[in-house]
């Protein structure tokens, strides 16, 4: 039976099922309280976690999102049930930390990771097209590096306890969310009183949703970056059928719930600065491609024992801290005194995205293995 299930989940039907479930669950979470077009956003939720811990002090985006621990622990459960938990670590962890940080800086310039780009599109936010185009461009660049021998090297097997560290950190986050202690006057744990951080689905539902998606995604290897990469690299549409299904199903569910509103200007938690929407996601796409997975996939890998993916996740949380502390994140379109104002990036944010692109290019160019002829 487990073998048959494994073959099913590895099949096209399996990946389509995963995409469909995410496409239903994400708008549902939004209906139950999560911010608009943000039913699930791995980058935003990790940014909120960084805020909840006080690693940045942007008061509107602070909340220990239970979906993220759910992703890791659901993937871990699936990996153990199917005998796939395999602790490994040591494939250039410092590079993964840097890639994670810049992936986050790029995502927060756009205001969302690939998951949210899909959900924004499904909610009618046409700025997401620029984001997705940037994502594809960044990934296409990453594919060129992969083709020319880019690799961060092999990850050796290690003690199972190494693979447990990230899941245990996630249990710790959940405990902090549940107990909500205050560590000092005006100190963490922070909970936003207004803004996106104050909007959230009930704890138990968010956690169950996270566990379910983590479980399914571990079984099916759902990956938003991989879906575009595999098409460019080898004309393989397997993963893309999952990502495409996500968007399609989310459109339908959004229409049923009345969430969708078509347009460019004034979309929820979004800006219509096209250049930086494109470049922000291009940076993210390149960083994800060089690190071998989208932010969701990195969480699922961390759950099945991949210590390097865990370092990437920590890099994203660190990147979120820098992003908000240094005013690098995009500001949404706003209306002030009846006048619509286009949001976007500060000069610091623009500089950080460009710096990130330069760093990722350097990583791509300098970390190539001369292949032995086979």
Q: Which residues bind another protein (CB under 8 A)?
A: 6, 10, 82, 84, 86, 88, 91, 146-147, 151, 154-157, 221, 226, 229-230, 233-234, 236, 238, 292, 371, 374
In the complex, least distance from residue 151 CB atom to another protein, rounded to whole angstroms: 5
Specify the residue, 50 or 146, whose C-beta has the smaller distance to another protein.
146
**Complex with another protein: residue 236 or 340, whichever CB lies closer:** 236
Q: What are phi and psi of 223, to 5 degrees?
A: -155, 125
Number of helical H runs and strand E runs in the chain: 15, 2
**Cβ nearer to another protein, comparing 134 with 226:** 226
Least Å distance, CB 224 to another protein, is 15
Q: Of 4 and 185, which has the nearer Cβ to another protein?
A: 4
Question: How many CA within 13 A on the CB side of residue 187?
Answer: 5
- How do strand 334-336 and strand 339-341 relate by DSSP bridges? antiparallel
- The least distance separating another protein from the CB of residue 70, rounded to whole angstroms, comes to 21
Closest C-alpha among 329, 367, 321, 359 to residue 346: 329
Q: Specify whether the CB–CB gap between 344 and 276 falls below 8 A.
A: yes
CB of 71 to another protein, least distance (A): 17
**What's the burial of 135, exposed, middle or buried (CB within 10 Å: 0-12/13-18/19+)?**
buried
| DSSP-assigned states of every residue in 76-105 | HHHHHHTT----B--S-HHHHHHHHHHHHH
Asked if 272 and 333 count as a contact pair (C-beta separation under 8 A), the reply is yes
C-alpha 102/C-alpha 333 separation (Å) is: 23
Contacts of 294 (CB under 8 A, 6+ apart): 42, 113, 114, 115, 223, 224, 225, 226, 288
Which is nearer to another protein, 139 or 352 (by Cβ)? 139
H or E element that contains 163 = helix 160-179
Q: Which two tokens stand for residue 169?
A: 């950190």
Measured from the CB atom, the residue of 231 and 281 that comes closer to another protein is: 231
Nearer to another protein, 29 or 77 (CB): 77
- For the chain, the first-to-last Cα distance in angstroms comes to 38
Q: How far lies 160's CA from each of 83, 89, 169, 311, 333, in Å?
A: 13, 10, 15, 16, 47
For another protein, the closer of residues 140 and 146 by Cβ is 146
The pair of structure tokens assigned to 163 is: 């693979």
Nearer to another protein, 92 or 121 (CB): 92
């Amino acid at each position: 039976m487990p073998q048959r299930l494994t073959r099913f989940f590895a099949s096209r039907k399996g990946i389509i099922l995963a995409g469909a479930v995410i496409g239903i669950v994400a708008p549902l979470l939004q209906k139950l309280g999560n911010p608009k077009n943000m039913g699930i956003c791995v980058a935003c939720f990790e940014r909120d976690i960084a805020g909840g811990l006080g690693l940045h002090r942007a008061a509107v985006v602070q909340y220990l999102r239970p979906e993220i621990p759910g992703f890791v622990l659901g993937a871990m459960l699936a990996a153990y049930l199917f005998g796939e938990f395999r602790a490994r670590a040591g494939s250039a962890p410092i590079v993964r930390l840097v890639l994670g940080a810049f992936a986050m800086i790029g995502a927060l310039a756009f205001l969302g990771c690939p998951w949210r780009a899909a959900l924004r599109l499904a909610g009618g936010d046409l700025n997401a097209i620029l984001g997705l185009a940037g994502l594809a461009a960044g990934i296409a660049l990453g594919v060129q590096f992969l083709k020319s021998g880019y690799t961060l090297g092999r990850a050796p097997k290690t003690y199972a306890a190494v693979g447990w560290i990230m899941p245990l950190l996630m249990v710790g986050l959940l405990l902090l969310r549940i107990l909500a202690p205050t560590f000092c006057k005006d100190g963490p744990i922070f909970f936003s009183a207004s803004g996106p951080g104050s909007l959230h689905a009930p704890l138990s539902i968010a956690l169950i949703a996270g566990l379910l998606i983590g479980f399914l995604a571990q079984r099916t290897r759902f990956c938003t970056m991989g879906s575009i990469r595999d098409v460019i690299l080898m004309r393989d549409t397997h993963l893309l059928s999952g990502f495409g299904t996500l968007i399609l199903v989310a459109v339908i569910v959004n229409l049923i719930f009345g969430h969708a509103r078509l347009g460019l200007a004034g979309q929820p938690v979004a800006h219509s600065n096209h250049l930086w929407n494109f470049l922000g996601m291009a940076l993210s796409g390149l960083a994800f491609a060089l690190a071998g997975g989208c932010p969701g996939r990195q969480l699922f890998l961390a759950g099945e024992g991949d210590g390097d993916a865990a370092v990437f996740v920590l890099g994203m949380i660190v990147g979120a801290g820098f992003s908000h502390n240094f005013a690098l994140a995009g500001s949404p379109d706003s209306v002030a005194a009846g006048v619509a104002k286009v949001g976007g990036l500060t000069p610091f944010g623009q500089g950080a995205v460009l710096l990130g692109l330069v760093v990722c290019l350097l990583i791509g160019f300098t970390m190539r293995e001369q292949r032995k002829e086979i």
